[in-house]
Amino acid sequence: MINIMRRIQLAKMILVQATAVLILGCTTASAQDDSFKSIFNGKDLKGWDGNPDLWSVENGVITGKTTGPAQLKYNQFLIWRGGKVKNFEFRAKVKHTGNNSGIQYRSKELPAIGKWSVGGYQCDLHPNAPYNAMIYEERGRGITVTNGQGVVADPEGKRWITDQRDPVKVDTTQWHEYSIIAKGNHIVHKIDGKMTIEFHDFDEKARSLEGVLAFQVHRGPAMNVQIKDVRLKVLPDGGVIDFKNFAIPSDAHVIEKKKPTPKKKKPAPKKKQAAKSKKKRAQVGPAIGENKATPIANITKPEGFNVELIYSVPGIEQGSWVNLCNDDKGRIYASDQYGGLYRFTPPAPGKELKKSDVQKLPINIRAVNGMLFAFDALYVGVNDYERKMESGLYRITDSNNDDMLDKVEKLRGMEARGDHGVHAIVLTPDKKRSLPDLRQQR
């Protein structure tokens, strides 16, 4: 018994020591990260250039102040004179009150506007959450990506929203760390390590891959911005992604430019309105990178695995596939988010699937978000937030033994609103029943 107790005590000591070493190791690694270079000395504005009436160092932090609308005719900037930034990661802690401020990068000086004037990419510092840590292009494209968005600008300058989530919200009057990561034509902003925006810029005429770094004081209402712990990490050159090798998701949508209010016109005939609507719908597939699947080069795979592109779904004819499932004969079923079901036999390795190989099931069902083939039937979860069909759990079977699913039965109706509804069908632990997975519903 004594030996057992001694062994337990020894094991505890070893565990505590190992934990201490692990924590110490992590702390030391973080403290010794010298890949970031401090570009503000905490004493004065050496290495920086700005209007001395606006910029100073107070209590060891960079401070920018304005007194009100009459003071400035244009936005002015404190410009870093340590060189231009290309690919980099930037971090600084900021707090501000009053009017908004910003962090310029890959920007250019605009002497025609006035001294200390700058234009280009800006990480906005704004009290309104959707605008805070967004991309605002000073004297350029204006609001480009707001907090909570993922956006792609295509070669023609059209912007597509590819991701939408709740904005990161903080009290801007308190200290928070803002981060900017720019690699090639890919840009990410963060607040306290949480991503606010992601931007892929394929608009070669408008984008910038190199330029100055600066802080902004904004004309208008009085403001005060304070900045400290200003650090910069230089990243390797390159990283520009070719649009040909990039896939915009098929469910992305265009950010429409605001147009001036048109003069009142007589309502167009119904036939013309219908034709216009049809034309807009027809743009959905080809306009998005010809609806090509994600390039293999963009897919991260485990070691020992190979990835092959076997089919790019034609969006106009076959919609947006959101779920796959295989039957007991190795065939694959695919569901269109807003349409029906399709079936195909996977091609042999190295071969591609032809459009003619894909069969549409002759059944009246839509908006399937989850599937399971079991007990000689296809169980599906319908999540139709367009309300064209009741959401719930359905069973699809072959009623006449011709090897084609043709009979639809509703097993249970369910309330589903928005994207968070029935998303999967799973077997019970005893493998004897199927159940809808409601973990996504909230």
Digit-coded pLDDT (tens) for 276-328: 444 443 333 344 445 566 777 667 778 888 888 888 888 778 888 888 999 99
Beta bridge partners of 54: none
What is the arithmetic mean of pLDDT over 358-376? 90
Give the mean pLDDT of 329-354.
90
Query: Which residues share a beta bridge with 334?
Result: 324, 342
* Element at 285 (helix H, strand E): helix 284-287
Report long-range pairs for 330-335 (Cβ below 8 Å, ≥24 apart): 333/361, 333/371, 333/373, 333/378, 334/358, 335/368, 335/369, 335/371, 335/380
Q: Which domains does the chain have, with CATH numbers?
A: 37-243 (2.60.120.560), 313-437 (2.120.10.30)
| DSSP-assigned letter for residue 432 | S
Q: What is the pLDDT of residues 423-439, one digit of tens each?
A: 788 888 887 776 665 44
When pLDDT is averaged across residues 71-99 and rounded to a whole number, the result is 97
Task: Provide the 10 A C-beta neighbour count for residue 37.
Answer: 11
How would you classify the pairing of strands 341-344 and 118-125?
Answer: unpaired
- 441 pLDDT higher than 50: no
CB atoms within 10 A of CB 124: 27
pLDDT at 19: 42
Mean pLDDT of 261-273: 58
Task: Give the C-alpha separation, 374 to 434, whole Å.
Answer: 8
pLDDT(416) > 90:
no
Q: What's the whole-model pTM score? A: 0.59
Distance CA 327, CA 407 (A): 16
Among candidate residues 175, 182, 230, 186, the one with its CA nearest the CA of residue 36: 230
Partnered with residue 65 across adjacent β-strands are 224
Instruction: From 98, 93, 100, select the one nearest 175 (Cα to Cα).
Output: 93
**Phi then psi for 22, rounded to 5 degrees?**
-65, -45
Enter the tokens of residue 68: 């009100």
Reduce the DSSP state of residue 182 to 3 states and report it.
strand
Strands 149-153 and 194-201: parallel
The pLDDT confidence band at residue 259, using thresholds 50, 70 and 90, is: low
pLDDT tens readout for residues 120-152: 999 999 999 999 999 999 999 999 999 999 999
Separation between Cα atoms, residue 368 and residue 365, nearest integer Å: 8
Strand partners, 125: 101
The alpha carbon of residue 262 and the mean position of all alpha carbons in its chain are separated, in whole angstroms, by 34
Note the pLDDT tens digit of each residue in 157-213: 999 999 999 999 999 999 999 999 999 999 999 999 999 999 999 999 999 999 999
For residue 108, the SS3 value is strand
At residue 9 the predicted structure's pLDDT band, cuts being 50, 70 and 90, is low
In this prediction, residue 225 has a pLDDT band, given cuts at 50, 70 and 90, of very high
At residue 32's C-alpha, the angle toward residues 30 and 33, to 5°, is 70
pLDDT at 27 over 50: no
**Average pLDDT over the chain, rounded to an integer:** 84
